[in-house]
Structure 1
């Protein structure tokens, strides 16, 4: 464990505390509810002990716009199945239309990409475009509950299309255009979409990638599609047979209309893959997403109407969804599409300066790469408007914490967060009113009853355990699509601790009330924040005639570089030469994404399997992380116990090489 009494890396000044929205909220609680708290930890304890009172206070503090009131904040603490704010009717998009009405020329979205110069869209223009696109969709017959899917990059048009759908009550779902046809169909094919938004291609790392054939393939393979809207992105004259152009939608009536929807009306479907089967189509609600975003961005992120906020992401990662909800606080959001390392790792820092960002976020891997490359952000850009740096996607090492402060100075708050696609929220994260310690997230987030648990369900203090949530959250999934009995939903989170959410992360709560995430406790692949099931990789790899069987593990762990080896069993007479490795990698890159290309490929004689034939991914992962073989697997439960010897030896050699590196 870490030292018992470390010195803080950052301490908020009295001025920063006084200006923070968290402090203002605590003052409001004092005036409104006569509640006094000695500090954040006491506030958090109240928020989970009095769950209904807390979330009702968030509703009132942020003055959530609604057309019908709720009859009850929460019907029960049952998980899954808790029902929030029953009776309320609202629309998440309507919240965006309440900001900057007097100074409508303020930028709402600043966009830049490798394929385009910087554009700035004002609040007035954004509202006009959202209303126009929504009314054009209505003319196409889109109604509440219809699915609208996007194969678009991180550009302003994608944000506008999302809020247009939300204003109708249509259900949004997004895949990034760097994802291949099989991976996209595995997702969109489950939800029977009515409309597809798409681009003709994208630019990444200075290279153009034409996706018109992919779009045509999606149209052919999604029989429920009735309309396709094409945004010419690489070529202004690009077309796809039967598709309407984005510009045509902007000619529609721009009178805004907001369908008034129940709190738990579906907002979007996002995907978080497990180790077997198709990606999990997770449905979040309009109200749960709204109230969690207001709390998370507003209190923990300290976002407000004067802020300019960016979190570098693709449209296939939950952080894209998180970023677009920054508009709900009146913040300007900045979006960037392209390779963050092209032409060099200074690109995003320069854009942060150009856009005058106050809050800049990225995956932990980005900061680690900048640190290793010797990037000095303040020599590339002034960055004098920044007050917060955000990090997520994988654990950020203590060394990276220190590097950020060395580079950006003592006045920056490093808000390292950890949550998930599954809840569209953070379990643990930043706080503008408490000290920060290297390698440690500052707090458990308000209203989130999160603990480190042992196998028996006992909370652990200053010990590593399973991340478990013992009370419901408004943004927990409503359901999984095509899971009418709720079995897949239940088995994904509630099969280990009955009635409690087990997330699949290793967590330690420190004596200071902070949190450290140590990586995944299950076998889901989590490459730089993008989760993907091992089964998706197996489908691609094992389709190759040379490969009989395969196994992949992700060895992401605190302070270590992400490392994902792939093990393959080859057909007799086939050897693993450079050409076969290249084709394996190319197939994964094309069908899934470049993030899921393995670091190394190894040949093994057989894949370890249980007596029932299941691949033993978790035992192999534990072996590779240094656990003893008798602690991870019982020979009596295996069909081929001798197969583990290879992995034991490989783990020994890898540990030896790391020790001497």
Structure 2
């Protein structure tokens, strides 16, 4: 990155004064006698004094514990740190402490359901009734409740109900295939399944009756299934209870089961594209503290604001959106395609729903940029305070697009984290400027650095492995069915014992900003030089007519390398020699001759996971001759048919 990046946004004095981060600094001064000047000093203190920092988060947010904790943590080395032992709490209890009749609890819209509200009274009544229903089915503390649902209010209600009982939640979105769902839910042996009849996407209906039947047959531990007729309001399913009937269960109101700090709250899953998905289990207290910290201090979400992130129930951002309830904000849910009937649909939704914080994926913003969508000219976005981006590195050009075509004074918070911690390691800071192409800051309490292969910290400006050297409460408490912890250790601690390696390339600048250069496990190693795939995509995105791309580097016998670039063209466009040359020229101009691929090949589609990750590593394995069944799991993919091209191409190689 250039040492003089373009400054895109600076917080105003009122923004800094009103930031919840500023209030936290003032609280530290009053309650802990700490004098801290600015975010960088606060971050440095937070990672140098881990125990004091997380204790202050507990105190600042007035965490409700039914029993006192004995010490902040037991042990300092990862993995295996125990946090706030002795405490007992409940995540759902903290969500309902903000109930009010002054604003809705949830907002919802889908392709076929107009914008609607769910009041706090309605949410409370539904959660209490469904919790009573689950209890009547024998669900209690430690039992698993699984959901096969779209991003609809019923999913939020069911999660809060299960959470209130101390049960363990896990969800998949209905675009998952039956085998992919079974690969996930079989591991956790759910007692109850909540399933939908179907969903609509891109204007098309998708029935899931047969898939649900397959899922039920594959889960021998199920004792009851709840049927949610979203696709067809009059539908039912043999042997199941209707959602509406479950909500009629007599009850005595909300009750919150206190559970230990490390008691599982939910199970999330790795993509499962190269093997059985890892069942990543998080604890009640860990995600509670992390979500309070991130939503309030990094995202600056205030009580009464409306918080939206485009997601499905199969992506960790769905769980993250629920955390808006913890800080007194209103989660905003949308179910459907972000491109139907066109790319303006979510911006129109933002205007209609009065969204203050709009979250999406980097590819969506890039798609809007390429289609020259101009939301700022078409919609009233005066209430919009921030735009969040995650899922992939956001190219600098898309930063510029946000300020030119969406809103000139919006706060752009590019962030990067993962399912592994259900939060972001790096992201927004409301009191610091935004520079083009750079993530603002490392998150508080996250001791993140760039390391070389020898495990040494790299100086500022150099690209290295993203590592976290101190434990965080929201790190997984365990992987399901990983009794000896070997899969957990292999996933994060194999390269650097005792230090979390996340698998991203990161550069920390002299401004304490950050640049993510893609996954380190998909690194392009050409002639001894490591190239991040994000650099390739950034340059290719500048070339007209190209919709998407994927690049891999194959290490062949005799020290040879072959780096093909696969491109998906816009509808009606062809990959001509002129376009190929434009790609080569752009890569040379932006980077080096080493960035230029050996061959540029047109494909009909780029393979993605259901959660929106490009399948770089699996494609590389296929091209290296590995059987597709061992290289990728089609059931975990959005478009498994896209692999057929790469299978044929590998035969040519």
Deviation at 1:567, TM superposition (A): 12
Preserved CA contact (<8 Å) 1:268 1:285: yes
CA deviation vs aligned residue, 1:42-100 (integer Å, no higher than 9, x gap): 11000000000000000000111111111101112110000101100000000011113
What stretches of structure 2 of length at least 5 have no aligned partner?
Answer: 524-531, 542-547, 555-602, 633-648
Deviation at 1:203, TM superposition (A): 0.3
Q: What is the match of residue 183 of structure 1?
A: 180
Preserved CA contact (<8 Å) 2:273 2:631: no
Instruction: Give the 5 Å matches for 1:272-311.
Output: 272-273=270-271, 276-311=274-309
Q: What is the match of residue 388 of structure 1?
A: 386
Flag the 1:410–1:605 CA change in 2: closer, same or farther, 3 A: closer
Deviation at 1:130, TM superposition (A): 1.1
Q: What is the match of residue 44 of structure 1?
A: 43
Give the one of 186, 210, 214 matched to 1:213: 210
Q: What secondary structure, in the 3-state scheme, does the structure 2 residue paired with 1:208 have? A: strand
Give the one of 223, 227, 243 matched to 1:246: 243
Flag the 1:369–1:607 CA change in 2: closer, same or farther, 3 A: same
Flag the 1:149–1:604 CA change in 2: closer, same or farther, 3 A: closer
Cα distance in 1 for partners of 2:37, 2:534 equals 37
Q: What is the match of residue 147 of structure 1?
A: 144
Q: What is the match of residue 128 of structure 2?
A: 131
Cα distance in 1 for partners of 2:619, 2:121 equals 56
Preserved CA contact (<8 Å) 1:275 1:523: no
Cα distance in 2 for partners of 1:375, 1:6 equals 25
Give the one of 368, 371, 377 matched to 2:369: 371
Flag the 1:174–1:425 CA change in 2: closer, same or farther, 3 A: same
Deviation at 1:277, TM superposition (A): 2.6
CA RMSD of aligned residues (A): 2.8
Cα distance in 2 for partners of 1:345, 1:459 equals 42
Q: What is the match of residue 111 of structure 1?
A: 108
Q: What is the match of residue 479 of structure 2?
A: 480
Cα distance in 2 for partners of 1:431, 1:502 equals 24
Flag the 1:222–1:586 CA change in 2: closer, same or farther, 3 A: farther
Deviation at 1:290, TM superposition (A): 0.4
Preserved CA contact (<8 Å) 2:522 2:533: no
Q: What secondary structure, in the 3-state scheme, does the structure 2 residue paired with 1:483 have? A: coil
Flag the 1:229–1:73 CA change in 2: closer, same or farther, 3 A: same
Q: What is the match of residue 223 of structure 2?
A: 226
Q: What secondary structure, in the 3-state scheme, does the structure 1 residue paired with 2:549 have? A: coil
CA deviation vs aligned residue, 1:229-276 (integer Å, no higher than 9, x gap): 111011111111111111112112251011010000000000014674
Q: What is the match of residue 624 of structure 2?
A: 607
Flag the 1:361–1:587 CA change in 2: closer, same or farther, 3 A: closer
Q: What is the match of residue 154 of structure 2?
A: 157
Flag the 1:376–1:482 CA change in 2: closer, same or farther, 3 A: same
Q: What is the match of residue 522 of structure 1?
A: 521
Q: What is the match of residue 594 of structure 2?
A: none
Q: What is the match of residue 453 of structure 1?
A: 451
The runs of 4+ residues in structure 1 deviating greater than 6 Å are: 565-568, 584-589, 596-599, 601-606
Cα distance in 2 for partners of 1:166, 1:606 equals 44
Preserved CA contact (<8 Å) 1:105 1:122: no
CA deviation vs aligned residue, 1:503-549 (integer Å, no higher than 9, x gap): 0000011100111111111149xxxxxxxxxxxxxxxxxxxxxxxxx
Cα distance in 2 for partners of 1:419, 1:98 equals 28
Preserved CA contact (<8 Å) 1:128 1:254: no
Deviation at 1:607, TM superposition (A): 2.7
User: Is 1:563 aligned with 2:544?
Assistant: no
Cα distance in 2 for partners of 1:357, 1:410 equals 17
Flag the 1:189–1:437 CA change in 2: closer, same or farther, 3 A: same
User: Is 1:401 aligned with 2:399?
Assistant: yes
CA deviation vs aligned residue, 1:139-161 (integer Å, no higher than 9, x gap): 11101111111100001110111
Cα distance in 2 for partners of 1:368, 1:284 equals 32
Give the one of 348, 352, 355 matched to 1:354: 352
Q: What is the match of residue 410 of structure 1?
A: 408
Cα distance in 2 for partners of 1:402, 1:83 equals 43
Flag the 1:605–1:274 CA change in 2: closer, same or farther, 3 A: closer
Preserved CA contact (<8 Å) 2:377 2:405: no
Give the one of 427, 430, 443 matched to 1:429: 427
Cα distance in 2 for partners of 1:391, 1:609 equals 34
Flag the 1:79–1:368 CA change in 2: closer, same or farther, 3 A: same
Cα distance in 1 for partners of 2:469, 2:300 equals 26
Flag the 1:446–1:11 CA change in 2: closer, same or farther, 3 A: same
- So what's the TM-score if we normalise by structure 2? 0.83
Flag the 1:386–1:602 CA change in 2: closer, same or farther, 3 A: closer
Q: What is the match of residue 10 of structure 1?
A: 9
Q: What is the match of residue 263 of structure 1?
A: 261
Q: What is the match of residue 318 of structure 1?
A: 316
Preserved CA contact (<8 Å) 2:452 2:465: yes
Deviation at 1:5, TM superposition (A): 3.0
Deviation at 1:556, TM superposition (A): 5.0
Cα distance in 2 for partners of 1:405, 1:164 equals 41
Flag the 1:602–1:227 CA change in 2: closer, same or farther, 3 A: closer
Flag the 1:597–1:365 CA change in 2: closer, same or farther, 3 A: closer
Flag the 1:279–1:556 CA change in 2: closer, same or farther, 3 A: farther
Deviation at 1:608, TM superposition (A): 5.3
Q: What is the match of residue 494 of structure 1?
A: 493
Q: How many residues align?
A: 567
Give the one of 303, 308, 333 matched to 2:331: 333
Cα distance in 1 for partners of 2:512, 2:144 equals 41
Flag the 1:594–1:363 CA change in 2: closer, same or farther, 3 A: closer
What stretches of structure 1 of length at least 5 have no aligned partner?
Answer: 525-553, 569-583, 617-645, 651-661
Cα distance in 1 for partners of 2:2, 2:551 equals 33
Deviation at 1:428, TM superposition (A): 0.5
Q: What is the match of residue 28 of structure 1?
A: 27
Q: What is the match of residue 440 of structure 1?
A: 438
Q: What secondary structure, in the 3-state scheme, does the structure 2 residue paired with 1:117 have? A: coil
Flag the 1:54–1:115 CA change in 2: closer, same or farther, 3 A: same
Flag the 1:145–1:4 CA change in 2: closer, same or farther, 3 A: same
Preserved CA contact (<8 Å) 2:315 2:611: no
- So what's the TM-score if we normalise by structure 1? 0.82
Q: What is the match of residue 658 of structure 1?
A: none
Deviation at 1:615, TM superposition (A): 7.6
Deviation at 1:565, TM superposition (A): 7.0
Cα distance in 2 for partners of 1:127, 1:107 equals 12
CA deviation vs aligned residue, 1:291-328 (integer Å, no higher than 9, x gap): 00000001000112121000000111111110011111
